[in-house]
Amino acid sequence: MAANLVPPTTVLDVKDTPAYLTTRALLDERQERGTLKPGSIDHLHSTVAKIHADLDPQDTDRPLNQSFFRYQGGKAALAFRRPDGSWESPESFTGSALSQMGYKVLGGGGAKFLENQRKQGEHGQKLAEVNWNHALQRQEAPSLLRTVQLPGQKFRTIRAVLSGGGRGYSVIDNLDVLQLFLDAPELRDLPVIESHITLDLMRIRLLLNPEDAILFDPLTGRIKNPTGSHDTTLNLPIPMLEVWNGEVGNAAIRVLDKVYFTHCLNGLGGYGDGGTSYRWNHTGGEDRAEKIKAGIGDAVKSARVRANGQIDNYKAATEVGIDNAFDLLDAWGDDLTAGQRERAKDAFQDETVTPGKKLASLVDAITLAAQDEKDLIKQRDLEAFGARILAKGLEQARKGGGRILVAEA
C-alpha cells in the first residue's frame, strides 16, 4: 500500500518535529495601547469572505478504513483509496484534527502513545504507522473530514475529524455568523475592536456601547484631549461583547459579556462564572440560524446589564487594599499554572496596573498575564479567573472592613 501513496521519505530530527502542521492565525487585528480605532462588522465580513474563498473549505464523508496513514517529512498524512485501487493525494493535519482522529480511532491516551513511539527514530516511526493503520481498519462508520487549502502547501490540510454519515452535523461557519450579525439590528452597528481567527476558532470583541469611542480621534485612535479631566476614565473598563465560533467541532457559538481596558488592551470576564450569556450549538435543524438571530437581541441587553455590574465591581476594587498581592495570588491561584502565576506577578510592574496595592491591582495583573497566552481558550479562562478573584476579593473585603489582610484559600 505504501508504495502507491508516496515514495519513501527520510525523516530528520524526528524528536523535535511535531507530527502535525503548525499554522499561524488567519486574522489577528487588535488595537494599539492607549488607542481606540474600531472597525465595522461589514468590513470584517468582507475580510473573512476573502479568507474563506482562499481556504476553499471542503468536506469528505467516508469510512476511515478506506484510508492509509503515514508520516511524510515527519508530518502525519492521510490518503483515501480511489475506486480503481490507486490512492488520492495525501492530506496533512492540524494539531487539533490529529487529536480528534487519535481520540476517535485510538481512544484516550492512544495517540500520545503512538506519538512517543514515532519519536523513537526511524524504526519507531514505521511501527507507529503500522499501529495507526491497524486501528484505522476497524473504522467502518463514515467520518466527516473538514479540509482546507493553506497557502504554500502542496496538499490540502485536514482541520477536523468529526462524526459523519448524515448524523445531522449542522455547519455554521464564521462567514455565516458574521452574516447573522449584519442581519441583526442589535449587532450590525457595534464597533469591532479586536478580531482573531484561527483554523479552529474565531473570537471577535465589540464595543457594547458605540458612544464609548467618542473620546478618541476616529483617524488616529488617540485620546482627543489627553490633558482634560476625562483622561481618568481611561483607567476604567468599558462594556464589551465577545463572540466565539468554532467551525470544526471545537466550540459552539458563544456570546460573552466582558469589559475592556483601552489603556492596556486586556479583557475581564463577566462576574465570577466567566460571564457566558448565551450559547448555541451547531445542531438543531435548518432553522438554527433563525433561532440565533431571534436570541441576539436578548443577548445584547443581558450583556449590557452584566457588564455595567462588572464595572461597578471594578470601581469598588480600586478602593480595597490588599496586604500581600503575591501571597493572595498563591493562595487563590490553585487553578493556575506556575508559569501563569509568575507572569501575573511580573505584570505588577506594568505601568497600567492600578497603583497602591489594591484588589484592582491584582485583577489587572492577572488579565495582563492573560494576553501572553497564545491559546485563546487559555486566555479566556485566565480572564475568567480574574473575574472570580474580583468577586471573591470583594466578598472578603466586606467581611474584613474594606481590606483583605489574610489570604483565605
Pairing of β 202-207 and β 192-197 = antiparallel
If one counts every other C-beta atom within 10 angstroms of the C-beta of residue 379, the result is: 20
What's the grid cell of residue 203? Answer: 473570537
Across the chain, mean pLDDT equals 84
Q: What is the pLDDT of residue 324?
A: 86
Give start and end residues of each alpha helix (H) in 213-287.
none
Strand partners, 89: none
Separation of alpha carbons 405 and 320, rounded Å: 10
Which pLDDT belongs to residue 101? 95
Q: The C-alpha cell of 284 is what? A: 438543531
Q: What is the pLDDT of residue 68?
A: 96
Decide if pLDDT at 37 tops 70: yes
Q: Which three cell numbers stand for residue 376?
A: 485563546
Say how far apart CA 80 and CA 90 lie, in whole Å. Answer: 8
pLDDT band at 305 (very low <50, low <70, confident <90, very high): confident
- Tens-place pLDDT, residues 184-242: 888 889 999 999 999 989 999 999 988 888 878 888 888 776 554 334 455 778 899 99
pLDDT tens sequence across 77-123: 999 999 999 999 999 999 999 999 999 999 888 888 998 899 888 89
Question: What angle, 0 to 180 degrees and rounded to 10, lies between the N-to-C axes of helices 288-317 and 174-183?
Answer: 80
Angle (deg, nearest 10), helices 325-332 and 359-370: 60
